[in-house]
Amino acid sequence: MTCCVTGHRPQKFPFEYSSKCSKYVKYRELLYNTVEQLILHGYRYFISGMAQGVDIDFAETVVHLRDNVYICTYDIQFEAALPFAEHSYDWEEKFLIKHWFLTDDCDKIKIVSRSFHKGCYQKRNKYMVDNSDLVLAIWNGEERGGTWNTIKYARSKNKKIIYIMLNEIED
């Protein structure tokens, strides 16, 4: 079974996107526990759109669990679904380094569009939903933007959705 993720970039988090923030630490624990439960319930293929924030956090979690916890137990696969080849070219260094390591460590890279064009991110999101059984939505509750559009699309395709609500995480 396959799971993809949709979620926000750091600036859309309702709390500081930093390990110094207790809500961020709880979010990462929730993400880890959720992905681990998915693995224990039969999910073996995971797709990330590799954007800053939730996508990178999800990818790090999957790779960590695959390589350190369940390395000999399950055949866990990780796919990076890139909206276009150079989508990370102007990122700040801390995200760019993570992106490089994660794409180097994935089992498959899917480049959805040749180059940037209006709608290439939504095309990537539709690809992920269409190729998944379940969507993990890490959402701040806003009903606008890419995460919301992906949730609506997943609903229209009758995909199972699990939510981690960022605005409900407490200290």
Given strand 2-7, what is the order of strands in its sheet?
108-113, 77-84, 45-48, 2-7, 134-139, 160-165
Q: Residue 50 in contact with residue 111, Cβ under 8 Å?
A: no
95 compared with 65, residue with greater pLDDT: 65
Sign, Cα dihedral of 113, 59, 16, 146: positive
pLDDT of 71: 83
What are 7-30's pLDDT values in tens digits? Answer: 999 999 999 999 999 999 999 999
d(C-alpha 32, C-alpha 30), whole Å: 5
CA 170 to chain centre: 22
What are 53-83's pLDDT values in tens digits? Answer: 999 999 999 999 999 988 878 899 999 999 9
> Which two three-digit tokens encode residue 31?
């993400």
d(C-alpha 96, C-alpha 78), whole Å: 18
Distances from the Cα of 108 to the Cαs of 14, 72, 143, 149, in angstroms? 32, 20, 31, 25
Residue at 121: amino acid letter: Y
Res 49 pLDDT > 80: yes
Res 88 pLDDT > 70: no
What are 112-163's pLDDT values in tens digits? Answer: 998 889 999 999 999 999 999 999 999 999 999 999 999 999 999 999 999 9
Buried b (16+ CB within 10 A) or exposed e, 23-45: bbeebeeebbebbeebbeeebeb
d(C-alpha 32, C-alpha 90), whole Å: 28
Phi, psi (rounded to 5 degrees) for 162: -110, 135
